[in-house]
């Protein structure tokens, strides 16, 4: 009895979580347009995507911003995490608190405040403003991940390496880098997915000259959910899933 | 020539002096223990020798050469850390080979030496294991192997046994002694455990508040402590306040606990001087009271008797109110050392077994 209860409970949870996604993915292969009834398997909506230069543009713009912003955020965030964990300076706690507050603050607030900042700074909304915004909201996640890793290892290993004859650069390359690498990679992949699927902040800080995929989908949906959108969302979802799984495997490595 | 010489070394952290004007010579090949309570500066001395800290003032010589400013990586010294500090992302082999690889030792030689060293620490065949799969005792042995594989001049051990359980600790103690004998190099061992210090060392350095209190063989430290700190920290002591009533030659008469007793005067005490009389629990004897205690022995009552198999520990409340701790051994002549609680007894000792120190 309890066994059946458990199974139905678990299936209910999974249906609730993945049902909508599954429907979307199934209908991206549907032959028919404007209908929710199944009319046979087809890949034509995926083909249609490839024929749409605007869409492909938006896709490559998204990838570019996600790649660059995640890498910049990873580099800055790793350095930041080092600063917080290795040095004791005034305002260290405040810095950490601010990192968390950026992570927690609502996207809409972030979006509007960044827009105001860019306008005051005289920047035209476009690629650069979008990039800065994405780096900003990815940064805290990298700092938190890498910091957790650094505080997780015994500081005596650095002493041990020096004691065994390692010079500063050897300590860095042979001990510190390999030990924090999983966290850095996880932070990078997480940033990549955050950047790739952000809508709200991007909506405020990008300009008409630089369109990205989530915003493009958003505008397409205004005219109705077409199988084309379903296909696009499926691609985006799989991309994000791949990055998240990779990040997850790496964070698991961290806990060892 | 000493293998390590610390000359007037001082070190402070955040303006808090940790070591003050310390002088210490370590002889080649000896097993030296730095013993003291936590915060006494013993680990700092070790880290100074390793080069992981630098002296604020004073000089440090290793094998006769001034190495005060020499960085850790260039010193012929290796350390076994309290937390072991093994590299978690490496296998047992890579951990042990780390130092040799940095010295660009040929790969074949590295393999051989790692293998030999693993056998030496009784971990033969564990090369490919990851650090996470090892028990605490095994990790400890890997940490030792990682240090000694480099054949250092001096091996530093920072409380290496403190994380092990009692049985393993006893085993490791024996293994460390054997290792010391086999390798023939100098061991400098840091501990707060007096039993470890006494059983392992050729020489013990007792430290407190960043200064050396006493240096000597374990027997000297235990039997003739030079001050109250050493007496109290190493082993158990019963301490009596006394006053010198009369001196005559190498003896003196002291008044304490309402009695008079003749004891040895080794430190040239003067009549009227306040002294402390120290007695180890095993140096005192308890006898059943006959009518009245003999001259020079202290009357009291048993408040607790603890049977320990080879010994019986007695806590006795003297008539003056002070409690003393006495250990009695079972022996052939005197079978009956079991006492009842509240039984009246006399406590005494053989003249000369006491240690007398000036009242500080």
Residue-wise pLDDT tens digits, B179-234: 999 999 999 999 999 889 999 999 999 999 999 999 999 999 998 899 999 998 99
CA dist A243 and A239 (Å) reads 6
Confidence of residue A232 (pLDDT cuts 50, 70, 90): confident
Residue-wise pLDDT tens digits, B11-62: 999 889 999 999 999 999 999 999 999 889 999 999 999 999 999 999 999 9
pTM for the full model? 0.78
> What residue has token string 């707060």?
B192
Q: What is the pLDDT of residue A211?
A: 87
**Partner-chain contact B99 A164, CB within 8 Å:** yes
Write out the two tokens for A8: 């139905």
Q: Across the interface, which of A157, A164, A166 has its CB nearest the CB of B78? A: A164
Say if residues B88 and B116 touch (Cβ distance below 8 Å). Answer: no
Mean pLDDT score, A126-153: 91
Integer CA distances (angstroms), A215 to A65, A108, A119, A130, A221, in order: 13, 15, 21, 12, 10
Q: What is the pLDDT of residue A253?
A: 65
- Contact status of B50 with chain A (Cβ, < 8 Å): yes
SS3 category, A7: helix
Q: What is the pLDDT of residue B143?
A: 95
Q: Strands of B284-288's sheet, edge to edge?
A: B284-288, B344-349, B298-307, B311-318, B323-329
Residue in chain B lying closest to A167 (CA): B73
Confidence of residue A34 (pLDDT cuts 50, 70, 90): low
CA dist B202 and B212 (Å) reads 17
Kindly list the residues from chain A whose CB atom is less than 8 angstroms away from the CB atom of residue B78: 163-164
Strand-pair partners of B10: B57
| Residues 6+ away with beta carbon under 8 Å from B196 | B33, B161, B169, B173, B189
Please say if the pLDDT value at position B311 is more than 70.
yes
Q: What is the pLDDT of residue B162?
A: 85
Please say if the pLDDT value at position B268 is more than 90.
no
Q: Strands of B259-264's sheet, edge to edge?
A: B259-264, B251-256, B238-248, B274-279, B355-358
Please say if the pLDDT value at position A225 is more than 90.
no
What region does B177 belong to: left with phi over 0, alpha with psi -120 to 50, or beta?
alpha
Please tell me the distance in Å from B254's CA to the nearest CA on chain A.
Answer: 53
**Partner-chain contact A166 B73, CB within 8 Å:** yes
Q: What is the mean pLDDT of chain A?
A: 87
Say if residues A245 and A174 touch (Cβ distance below 8 Å). Answer: no
Q: What percent of chain B has pLDDT over 90?
A: 58
Chain A residue set in contact with B, beta carbons under 8 Å: 153-154, 156-157, 159-167, 170, 174-175, 178-179, 256
Integer CA distances (angstroms), A133 to A201, A204, A239, B48, B162, in order: 8, 10, 22, 48, 51
**Partner-chain contact A179 B89, CB within 8 Å:** yes
- Contact status of B70 with chain A (Cβ, < 8 Å): no
Mean pLDDT score, B297-305: 90
Q: Which of B353, B346, B243 is nearest to B291 (CA)?
A: B346
**Partner-chain contact A163 B82, CB within 8 Å:** no
Please state the three-class secondary structure of B8-33 as a single string: EEEEEECCEEEEEEEEEEECCCCEEE
Kindly list the residues from chain A whose CB atom is less than 8 angstroms away from the CB atom of residue B102: 164-166, 170
Please tell me the distance in Å from A244's CA to the nearest CA on chain B.
Answer: 23
Element (H, E) at B49: helix B42-50
**Partner-chain contact B52 A159, CB within 8 Å:** yes
- Contact status of B83 with chain A (Cβ, < 8 Å): yes
Kindly list the residues from chain B whose CB atom is less than 8 angstroms away from the CB atom of residue A153: 88
Strand-pair partners of B284: B349
**Partner-chain contact A160 B79, CB within 8 Å:** yes
ipTM, 2 dp: 0.82
State the CB neighbour count (10 A cutoff) for residue B231.
23
Please say if the pLDDT value at position A40 is more than 60.
yes
| Residue of A162, A164, A181 to mutate, interface with B, max B Cβ within 10 Å | A164
Q: Across the interface, which of B74, B81, B89 has its CB nearest the CB of A160? A: B81
More confident residue, A255 or A183: A183
* Phi and psi at residue A44, to the nearest 5°: -65, -30
Residue-wise pLDDT tens digits, B182-195: 999 999 999 999 88
CA A83 to chain centre: 24
SS3 category, B149: coil
Q: What percent of chain B has pLDDT over 70?
A: 99
Strand-pair partners of B66: B61
**Partner-chain contact B132 A256, CB within 8 Å:** yes
Write out the two tokens for A225: 């959910």
Q: What is the pLDDT of residue B288?
A: 83
**Partner-chain contact B150 A164, CB within 8 Å:** yes
CA dist B282 and B299 (Å) reads 18
CA dist B146 and B134 (Å) reads 15
Say if residues B137 and B31 touch (Cβ distance below 8 Å). Answer: no
Q: What is the pLDDT of residue A24?
A: 85
Q: What is the pLDDT of residue A134?
A: 94
b/e per residue A188-219 (b: at least 16 CB within 10 A) = bbbbbbbbbbbeebbbbbbeeebbbbbbbbee
Q: What is the pLDDT of residue B332?
A: 62
Kindly list the residues from chain A whose CB atom is less than 8 angstroms away from the CB atom of residue B146: 160, 164
Residue-wise pLDDT tens digits, B141-176: 999 999 999 999 999 999 988 888 888 888 999 999
Q: What is the pLDDT of residue A35?
A: 63
Residue in chain A lying closest to B94 (CA): A174
Element (H, E) at B223: helix B218-223
∠ CA(A216), CA(A218), CA(A224), 5° rounding?
Answer: 110
Residue in chain A lying closest to B52 (CA): A159
Write out the two tokens for B88: 């978690």
| Residue of B46, B51, B72 to mutate, interface with A, max A Cβ within 10 Å | B72
Residue-wise pLDDT tens digits, A53-88: 888 888 899 999 999 999 999 999 999 888 888 777
Q: What is the mean pLDDT of chain B?
A: 90
**Partner-chain contact A156 B150, CB within 8 Å:** no
Kindly list the residues from chain A whose CB atom is less than 8 angstroms away from the CB atom of residue B50: 159, 163
Please say if the pLDDT value at position B337 is more than 80.
no
């Amino acid at each position: 009895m309890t066994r059946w209860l458990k199974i139905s409970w678990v299936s209910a949870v999974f249906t609730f979580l993945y049902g909508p996604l599954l429907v979307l993915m199934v209908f991206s292969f549907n032959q028919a347009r404007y209908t929710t009834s199944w009319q046979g398997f087809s890949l034509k909506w995926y083909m249609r995507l490839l024929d749409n230069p605007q869409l492909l543009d938006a896709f490559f713009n998204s990838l570019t911003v996600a790649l660059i912003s995640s890498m910049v955020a990873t580099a800055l965030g790793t350095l930041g995490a080092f600063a917080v964990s290795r040095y004791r300076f005034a305002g260290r706690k405040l810095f950490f608190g601010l990192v968390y507050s950026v992570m927690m603050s609502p996207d809409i607030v972030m979006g509007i405040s960044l827009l105001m900042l860019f306008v005051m700074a005289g920047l035209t909304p476009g690629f650069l403003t979008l990039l800065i915004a994405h780096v900003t909201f990815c940064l805290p996640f990298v700092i938190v991940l890498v910091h957790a890793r650094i505080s997780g290892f015994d500081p005596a290993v650095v002493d041990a390496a020096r004691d065994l004859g390692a010079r500063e650069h050897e300590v860095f390359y042979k001990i510190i880098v390999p030990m924090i690498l999983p966290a850095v990679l996880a932070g990078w992949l997480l940033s990549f997915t955050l950047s790739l699927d952000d809508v709200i902040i991007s909506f405020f800080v990008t300009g008409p000259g630089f369109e990205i995929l989530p915003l493009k989908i958003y505008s397409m949906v205004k005219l109705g959910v077409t199988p084309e959108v379903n296909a696009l969302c499926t691609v985006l979802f799989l991309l994000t899933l791949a990055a998240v799984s990779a990040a997850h495997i790496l964070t698991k490595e961290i806990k060892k | 020539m000493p293998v390590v010489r610390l000359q007037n070394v001082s070190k402070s952290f955040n303006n808090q002096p940790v070591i003050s004007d310390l002088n210490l010579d370590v002889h080649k090949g000896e097993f030296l223990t730095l013993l003291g309570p936590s915060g006494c500066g013993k680990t700092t001395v070790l880290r100074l020798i390793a080069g992981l800290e630098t002296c604020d003032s004073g000089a440090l010589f290793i094998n006769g050469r001034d190495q005060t400013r020499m960085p850790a990586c260039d010193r012929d010294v290796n350390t076994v850390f309290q937390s072991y500090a093994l590299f978690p992302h490496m296998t047992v082999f890579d951990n042990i080979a780390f130092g040799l690889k940095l010295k660009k030792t040929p790969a074949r030689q590295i393999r051989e030496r790692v293998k030999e060293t693993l056998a030496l620490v009784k971990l033969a065949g564990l090369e490919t294991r990851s650090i996470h799969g090892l028990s605490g005792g095994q990790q400890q042995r890997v940490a030792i192997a990682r240090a000694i594989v480099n054949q250092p001049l001096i091996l530093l051990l920072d409380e290496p046994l403190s994380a092990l359980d009692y049985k393993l600790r006893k085993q490791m103690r024996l293994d460390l002694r054997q290792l010391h004998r086999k390798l023939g190099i100098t061991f400098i061992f840091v501990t707060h455990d007096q039993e470890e210090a006494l059983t392992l060392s050729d020489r013990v350095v007792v430290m407190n508040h960043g200064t050396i209190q006493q240096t000597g063989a374990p027997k000297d430290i235990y039997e003739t402590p030079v001050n109250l700190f050493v007496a109290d920290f190493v082993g158990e002591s019963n301490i009596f306040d006394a006053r010198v009533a009369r001196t005559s030659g190498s003896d003196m008469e002291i008044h304490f606990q309402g009695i008079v007793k003749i004891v040895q005067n080794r430190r040239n005490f003067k009549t009227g001087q306040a002294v402390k009389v120290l007695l180890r629990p095993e140096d005192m004897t308890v006898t059943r009271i006959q009518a009245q205690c003999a001259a020079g022995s202290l009357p009291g009552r048993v408040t607790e008797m603890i049977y320990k198999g080879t010994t019986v520990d007695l806590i006795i409340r003297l008539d003056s109110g002070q409690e003393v701790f006495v250990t009695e051994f079972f022996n052939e002549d005197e079978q009956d050392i079991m006492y009842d609680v509240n039984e009246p007894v006399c406590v005494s000792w053989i003249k000369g077994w006491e240690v007398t120190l000036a009242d500080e």
